[in-house]
Structure 1
Amino acid sequence: MDAEKIEDLDAFDLKILDAVADNGRISVTDLASRIGLSKTPCNARLRRLIEDGYILGFRAVINPRKLGLDHVAFAEVKLSDTREQALSEFNAAVHKIKEVEECHMIAGRFDYLLKVRTQNIRRYREVLGEKISSLPHVASTSTSVAMQSVKER
């Protein structure tokens, strides 16, 4: 996939990506009808997009509110060491914290931005104090609490 570029995708490929991003359970028959191709070439394109790494997988989107996970906080994390080894150690360790939904390395006044989902602020404080602050090379954290999720994907 290294050599592929967005320019290598045609309008049908882009429509397929859009459709499966919207509904990963769409049947090939419905997908073909939606994008204006017959079933066989649509299926071949879908398989190629998967094989070429444009589609990484399919999964169920779970409703966190039904599970009592209403609290979303964003933790800004500043590291004490940003050499490659330290970054690798942090990256590996953060994967082990189930409450961290997303982790992004940031170019700015802090090093990482973590999206953390918990039951409530008390549980978030526990996760922050016992797990996030204990990650390798963490120097400091700062938290912003989401009051409302306007758009999530």
Structure 2
Amino acid sequence: MDPLDGIDRSLLRLLQEDGRRTTLDLANRVGLSPTGTSQRVKRLFREGFITAIRAILDPQKIDRGTLVFIQVRLDQTAPHVFDRFAEAVAKAPEVLECHMVVGGFDYLVKARIADMSVFQEFLQRVILPLPGVRETHTYASVADVKPDTLLPV
């Protein structure tokens, strides 16, 4: 049985669109009382459906206007190498996401930097010294076609 009903899904959609919505606004939109709405939202947090409410910043305004994707191949595929890599990449503030993947490389790193003029310095300071890095391929984003992070619910 699905743990979410239609009202829960509506609340999740509305909160993804704007996490600052008031309980009263949410209640009006889903057709519940404010108390009932508040209880549902608290349950969605408690049960882990909602993990955080955050502000989405404009990368240009904070000097992070360039988005790069970096494919990383490690020199070994041993658990200790993966662990060391994961620990090190988690400390790099420029790295937004890092995913272990299957295919022709081991990791896909998503990072934001000021612009391509600082990319070489970023690569040499952050990516290449990561434990076990053998090879990298970088792709700079030239347009955000669908940058939204809303999940379908």
TM-score, normalised by the number of residues in structure 1:
0.91
Within the candidate set 3, 11, 21, 2:16 is matched to 21
**Which residue type is aligned with residue 71 of structure 2?**
E
The one-letter amino acid of 2:94's match is E
* 2:132 corresponds to 1:141: no
- Tell me what 2:151 maps to: none
Secondary structure at the counterpart of residue 142 of structure 1: strand
Q: Structure 1: how far apart are the matches of 2:31 and 2:78? A: 50
**Is 1:41 equivalent to 2:41 in the alignment?**
no
CA RMSD of aligned residues (A): 1.3
- Which runs of structure 1 show a deviation greater than 3 angstroms over 4 or more consecutive aligned residues? none
Matching residue of 1:124: 119
User: Aligned residue for 1:83?
Assistant: 78
Which residue is equivalent to 1:103? 98
1:8 partner SS: coil
Task: State the AA in 2 paired with 1:77.
Answer: V
How far 1:100 sits from its partner (Å)?
0.8
Q: Please state whether the residue corresponding to 1:43 is helix, strand or coil.
A: helix
Residue 68 of structure 2 corresponds to residue 73 of structure 1 = yes
Q: How big is each residue's C-alpha offset from its partner over 1:23-74, in whole Å with a ceiling of 9 and x where there is no partner?
A: 0111011011112211111111100110111111111111111123221111
Q: List gaps (5 residues or longer) in structure 1.
A: none
Amino acid at match of 1:111: D
Shift of 1:80: 1.4
In structure 1, C-alpha distance between the alignment counterparts of 2:84 and 2:75, rounded to whole Å: 12
For the residues of structure 1 that align with 2:14 and 2:112, how far apart are their CA atoms? Answer: 28
Please, what TM-score do these two structures have when normalized by structure 2? 0.91
> Partner amino acid for 2:98?
C
Q: 2:26 aligns with which of 22, 31, 36?
A: 31
SS at match of 2:19: coil
* Equivalent AA in structure 2 for residue 90 of structure 1: F
How far apart, CA to CA, are the structure 1 residues paired with 2:55 and 2:103?
A: 33
If asked which structure has higher relative contact order (CA below 8 Å, sep 6+), I would say 2
Deviation at 1:145, TM superposition (A): 0.9
Distance in 2 (alpha carbons) for counterparts of 1:99 and 1:34: 38
Identity %: 36
SS at the partner of 2:32? coil
Determine the structure 2 residue equivalent to 1:63: 58
Q: Distance in 1 between matches of 2:34 and 2:99?
A: 38
Q: 1:112 aligns with which of 100, 107, 114?
A: 107
